[in-house]
Amino acid sequence: MGINLNIFSVKSGKTSLLALAAVSIISAFMAAGTARADIYKHIDKDGVLHLTNVPSDPNVKYIMIMREKRILFQPNIDVNKYDDIINRTANKFGLDSALIKAVIKAESNFNHNAVSPVGAQGLMQLMPKTAYALSVDDSFHPEKNIEGGARYLRYLLKTYRGDLSLALAAYNAGEKAVAKYHYNIPPYRETQNYVRRVLSLYKSYSN
């Protein structure tokens, strides 16, 4: 999710006050669980202060002013609860069941009712438009969600010629973000952490 705040500030010392107010607002949202991101700032040539969690301009020097809120997953989660569905779906789409399981862990921690701040739903956190495109009529239904997510993963792996890291980056940040950065993993902290986390979980579940 991208939060982009553009704050105009004159050269009378109000910059810091406006920035402080904006950061306070962002902190409140993050504390409420509505946003999870690192916050960066930069001031453009016109003196406009920009706060964002998506440092997307490679020509701008961003300064991190707030680290993302870390998600503390609940203990005693049954990580094997959906193994039968995962295995059937993996066979159907020619995927490794450990990969599907790793994505589910990273996306929802096996909570089939999970909803992200931007509206992604279910075990594999499908956005409504993505779910519709994948013919998933109920993203909170475990089997339908897993099948939709697996179908999307299969498509992404084909799109990026088997490059798992790029497929995962696109799963997290979108295909347009990967294309924007010349088919490399976008320089978004969230996306880079996501790719590393899923690959680590994949290795763990493969053992």
The set of catalytic residues is 107
Show the tokens assigned to 159: 């799109």
65 CB-near residues (< 8 Å, 6+ apart): 19, 23, 39, 40, 41, 51
Show the tokens assigned to 10: 């004159």
Residue 24's Cβ-count burial label (10 Å; 0-12, 13-18, 19+) is exposed
Residue 139: C-alpha distances to residues 42, 126, 136, 153 (Å) = 38, 7, 6, 16
Q: Please give the backbone phi and psi of residue 89, each rounded to the nearest 5 degrees, phi first.
A: -70, -40
Q: CA 154, CA 89: separation in Å to the nearest integer?
A: 11
DSSP secondary-structure letter at 206? Answer: H
